[in-house]
Amino acid sequence: MKTKLGFTKKFLLIFFRLLAMTIPIWGVILLVLLGLVWIFARIEGISFMTSLYFGAITALTIGYGDITPITNAGKVIAVIMGLMGVLNTGIIVAIALQAVRVTYEEVIEQARERLDQLKKKQ
């Protein structure tokens, strides 16, 4: 008999298991973003920490507007950072949807098994 877990706990277990499988992808994305942050700092003539802040705000698609790129190269890098942020969001949403699908299938299978057991008892 399988362990009885609630839908939420099952979902979280599956979600984090799938998320852990994407660690290599996150590593590459992080390295690329850090490289872009470093290049952005050099091109725009700002400190690395200010550039890191700008990169985080841009990649998270928040965009306060307190720091804006001045050079054309800086603008291109900002667009790339924003697109990488959208990619990150897409990956997380895809993982969450897969986790919901797998969890739902497991819950339905357990319900069918329980229903079959009840039918056999009658």
Nearby residues of 32 by Cβ (< 8 Å), 6 or more positions away? 84
pLDDT, one tens digit per residue, over 78-114 is 999 999 999 999 999 999 999 999 999 998 998 899 8
Is 67 a member of any domain?
A: yes
The CATH number linked to 36 is 1.10.287.70
Which residue range(s) make up the domain with 58? 7-121
User: pTM for the complete prediction?
Assistant: 0.79
Is 1 a member of any domain?
A: no
Q: What single-letter DSSP state applies at residue 3?
A: -
Is 2 a member of any domain?
A: no
What is the domain count for the chain?
Answer: 1
pLDDT, one tens digit per residue, over 37-94 is 999 999 999 999 999 999 999 999 898 999 999 999 999 999 999 999 999 999 999 9
Ordered alpha helix ranges (H), 60-71: none
Structure tokens at 62: 């928040």
Show the CA angle centred on residue 11, arms to residues 10 and 17, nearest 5°: 90
